[in-house]
Amino acid sequence: MKKLLTLILSLALGLTACLGLTACGGEEDSKNIKIGVQEGTTSLMYADCLKGVSVSSYTTFPLAADAMKNGNVDYVVCDKATATSICNTMGGVKYIDIALSTEFYAIAMDKNQPELNASINQILESKSAEIQAIIDKYMAGDEANYVGVTSAEKNNDNKAGQLVVATNAEFPPWEYVDGDKYYGIDMEIAKIIADELGLELVIDDMAFESVVSSVGANGVDIAMSGITITNERKEIVNFSTSYYTESIVILCKENCNDFAKAGTVVDLLSVLCKNK
């Protein structure tokens, strides 16, 4: 989810949803629809952009989905990869395969380390086939080939020998913890980068809201947590070349027929932005 502040809304909405000029109408038309999101994500911004829709934030997308199953919210807005993971593990839910918006995931990098930034971009290019294979296996749910990543202890006396990566390891398939190891697309890519640089990999797990802002502070070199490129974030970090293009989708209960006739973004918005 992973994501804060600038969705590419202009193509999906023509920016009119933010003005209440699409099928959303005014606040009174949509006051009964409740949407769950993960706090600190671009999905939250998207939901907030819908006039009058009631938005509830949760610490993770699975918690938002659980709230939906319990009847506390009507739908969840999240990225497609996370929606797929939730459907595979939770049951009783589905996602609508129409993109509300498109995002580009990249590595947030310390502005004060231009040489490291250049090296990471070179690695992403040279290892693109290997990285794509990692993405493919997680998207296919090929658990037998997932690789667990072990984090070294942060050593302030050996900063030059370590690559410290900030993440929020509650965002499968991008990053999550199982036992004493980290799994996920971002974690395996981080391991490749550290190995190519000849550095120890240190994973600094923290709340998602702190992930990007931590870069350049407390020894954190980069951040990887399904992070969307936004103009606001560019003010405090550099971004690598994008390694994944993601879609924002709607997650709903498996027996939900509200979107049965939907074929476009406008159709989705007409459901989201009307009384139940």
Q: How many CA atoms lie within 13 A of 163 on its CB side?
A: 26
| CATH 3.40.640.10 at 107-241, yes or no | no
Predicted pLDDT at 15: 36
According to the model, what pLDDT value does residue 275 have?
54
The per-residue pLDDT for 27 is 44
Domain 9-104+247-272 fold: D-Maltodextrin-Binding Protein; domain 2 (3.40.190)
- pLDDT score recorded for residue 19: 35
CA separation for the pair 162, 202 (Å, rounded): 7
Q: pLDDT value at position 145?
A: 97
List, for the chain, all residue ranges whose pLDDT scores fall below the cut of 70: 1-31, 275-276
3-state SS, residue 83 = helix
pLDDT tens digit string along 204-246?
Answer: 999 998 999 999 998 999 999 999 999 999 999 999 999 999 9
Rounded to 5, what percent of the chain is helix, strand, coil? 35, 25, 40
Write down the domain spans for the chain: 9-104+247-272, 107-241
Over 151-207, what HEC string results?
Answer: CCCCCHHHHHHEEEEEECCEECCCEEEECCEEECHHHHHHHHHHHHHCCEEEEEECC
Fold agreement between 9-104+247-272 and 107-241:
yes
Residues 248-269: pLDDT tens digits? 999 999 999 999 999 999 999 8
CB 123 within 8 A of CB 193: yes
Please report where in the chains the tokens 């490291």 appear, as a residue: 116
